[in-house]
A and B are shown apart, each in its own frame.
Chain A
Amino acid sequence: MSEASIVVVGLTLVTFVFKGAGAMLARVPESVARRLPGLAPALLAALVTSLALGDDGLPRLDAKFAGVAVAVVLAWRKAPLGVCIVGGALTAAVIRLFS
């Protein structure tokens, strides 16, 4: 087996177990279930933060950061999802075009 096929099979199994473990559990303890609504806001904020950081994990004022800032304003103004995505991407692309 090639290195790449080992990785495909291995990561498929690992991901399947991570995603499926909750479904295979008999039932979720009440103490955990009550806290699950805290998961989505924490994870989405964590995704935004980690994607907005530079490759070294440190904040950086660059075209990407400007795009994220525009998306924050658009989300605050209650713009639709598609407008936020395109607004953020377009801002970063235009800044790169002129820098």
Chain B
Amino acid sequence: MRIAPRPLILAALPPSAAVGVFGVSYGVLGTAADIPGWQLVVMSMTVFAGSAQFAVVSVLATGGGALAAIVSGGLLNSRYLPIGVDAARVLPGGRLKRALLVQLVVDESYALGIGAGRPGAPDGSAMISSGVLLWLAWVGGSALGVVIGPVLGDPERLGLDAAFPAMFIALLWPMLSSPGTRRCALGGAVAVLAVAPWAPAGTGLALAALVGLALAPTS
């Protein structure tokens, strides 16, 4: 595998910036929930999944307990099972090396890898190079939020809650060029609308992954 060329790095910069700010927000909220700062940062290093970590913080903040926190975070991360299957196919090395490299795959690096890949398979070096940048931004942002959070306040009010759906729309749009992928996207959105009002967070994402596989064009 070659060193990532410049366009791959440049494409990963805007999502990395958004993820960095999101990390600050996570550090602020986690500190406010009385979770030790170093544990918040270690969790960003080893879990590296924003939505699951936010869920964990809110469960602990409301006194839900460790098991409930792990279950809700795990439910949100269950979508990484099928994503991991897809991503691991194009990563280099043996099983262990691929299992380690695939930890760098998150929603953003997966989408960038699909965008840079050939039809039907993501691009491995795009996923890894953007994954490294996103990891640095997420961990750095988390640490910054822990340190300066109490002074700065929560960046959520800057419109961060709209930045993430906006980013995923921009990543999704180029994939909507064929009727088959439009059908999968519609199915994924409907799956979330159907279960989000009553099911725990993450259920809709897991269901959407199954719907996407079921509706995928197979010809």
Instruction: Give the interface of A toward B (CB within 8 A).
Output: 2-8, 10-12, 14-16, 18-25, 28, 32-53, 56-59, 63-64, 66-68, 70-72, 74-76, 78-82, 84-94, 96
Contacts and interface: CB of A to CB of B under 8 A. Distances in A.
B139 interface: no
Given A33-B89, A45-B189, A45-B208, A81 B39 contact: no
A48 B189 contact: yes
Interface of B: 11, 13-15, 17-18, 35-36, 39, 42-43, 46-49, 52-53, 56, 60, 65-66, 69-70, 73-74, 77-89, 91, 95, 98-103, 105, 107, 110-111, 114, 119-122, 157-173, 175-176, 180-182, 184-189, 191-193, 196-198, 201, 204-205, 208-209, 211-218
B185 to A, nearest CB: 4
B1 to A, nearest CB: 15
Given A21-B81, A23-B88, A75-B169, 6 more contacts: A22-B85, A36-B216, A42-B208, A58-B196, A68-B169, A81-B11
B212 A38 contact: yes
Contacts of B169: 48, 68, 71-72, 75, 84, 88
Q: Is the interface of A mostly helix, strand, loop or mixed?
A: helix
Nearest to B12: A81
Contact of B181 (A37, A70, A85): A37
A41 B85 contact: no
Nearest to A65: B162
A42 B167 CA distance: 15
Given A7-B69, A23-B95, A64-B161, A42 B211 contact: yes
A67 B14 contact: no
B181 A71 contact: no
A36 B82 contact: yes
Nearest to B53: A11
B60 to A, nearest CB: 6
Instruction: Give me the 5 closest cross-chain CB pairs, A-B, nearest first.
Output: A42-B212, A38-B216, A88-B166, A67-B162, A42-B188
A89 to B, nearest CB: 4
A7 B56 contact: yes
B99 A46 contact: no
A67 B166 contact: yes
